[in-house]
């Protein structure tokens, strides 16, 4: 049984790698140079230069008007929320240090980042989650969807609005993205507009519905060690 599961997982990874390769070929050399750096680079402080952070996405980059953007928290909650960017940045702030890794090729498609944002647990406390809730479903403005089984929620998981102390660049999820440290990158939904608290344990996001693990914990994950003197 274990061999079958391993074979299935290998097939999923190979499928994902083929998808990325076809994207590179379709979009040409400029895409390769900009979005897929040939080497994993770091500053002396251990962070990855922002222009070297990899990008993988299923569609185009949405053009979001900050004044019109809202983050909706809905579903199995007693107090649904509709937050502006100003609402978000006034909430208690937390920082997390993460190595963001793509399941397709974590050797090269990875980046060390400091994220600043609001704990998902805090947002859910404000929304007053019902006991029937079992999953969080994250919706991006580009149409991408992923999910998180609620029992895995911890205080390192945030809705981020700063990347390395600066406003998140458009291609990396401006104005806000979900950050799930220690989980593969496909769980980190960019341009997040809605968090649905669901009572459906069988719901699966985009990649999850294609066979990628729903519990996408990176084996032997360790957060990066930064050199504050760099």
Q: pTM for the full model?
A: 0.82
* Residue burial 40-59, b: 16+ Cβ < 10 Å; e: rest: bebeeebbbeeebbbbbbee
* Separation in Å, CA 179 to CA 1, 18, 54, 208, 224: 33, 25, 15, 17, 15
Alpha carbons 69 and 61: distance in angstroms, whole number: 15
How does pLDDT run across 150-170, given as a tens digit for each residue?
A: 999 999 999 999 999 999 999
Cα angle 190-42-104, degrees, rounded to a multiple of 5: 50
Query: What is the helix (H) or strand (E) element at residue 14, kind and residue range?
Result: helix 2-27
pLDDT band, very low/low/confident/very high, at 183 (cuts 50, 70, 90): very high
Alpha helix ranges (H) inside 83-162: 85-89, 120-127
pLDDT band, very low/low/confident/very high, at 17 (cuts 50, 70, 90): low
Q: Does CATH number 3.90.650.10 belong to domain 2-209?
A: no
SS3 103: coil
How does pLDDT run across 125-140, given as a tens digit for each residue?
A: 999 999 999 999 999 9
Query: What is the helix (H) or strand (E) element at residue 71, kind and residue range?
Result: strand 71-75
Mean pLDDT of the chain: 86
């Amino acid at each position: 049984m274990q061999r079958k599961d391993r074979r299935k997982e290998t097939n999923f990874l190979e499928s994902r790698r083929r998808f990325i390769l076809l994207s590179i070929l379709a979009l040409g050399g400029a895409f390769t140079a900009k979005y897929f750096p040939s080497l994993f680079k770091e500053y002396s402080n251990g962070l990855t230069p922002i222009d070297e952070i990899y990008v993988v996405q299923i569609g185009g980059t949405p053009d979001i008007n900050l004044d019109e953007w809202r983050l909706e928290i809905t579903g199995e909650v007693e107090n649904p929320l509709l937050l502006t960017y100003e609402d978000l940045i006034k909430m208690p702030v937390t920082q997390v240090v993460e190595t963001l890794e793509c399941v397709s090729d974590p050797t090269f498609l990875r980046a060390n980042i400091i994220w600043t944002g609001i704990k998902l647990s805090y947002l859910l406390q404000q929304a007053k989650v019902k006991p029937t809730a079992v999953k969080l479903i994250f919706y991006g403005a580009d149409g991408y969807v992923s999910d998180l089984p609620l029992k895995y929620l911890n205080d390192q998981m945030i809705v981020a609005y700063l990347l390395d102390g600066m406003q998140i660049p458009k291609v990396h999820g401006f104005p806000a993205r979900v950050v799930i440290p220690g989980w593969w990158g496909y769980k980190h939904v960019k341009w997040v507009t809605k968090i649905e608290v669901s009572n459906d344990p069988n719901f699966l996001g985009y990649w999850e519905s294609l066979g990628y693990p729903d519990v996408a914990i990176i084996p032997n994950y360790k957060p990066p060690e930064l050199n504050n003197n760099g």
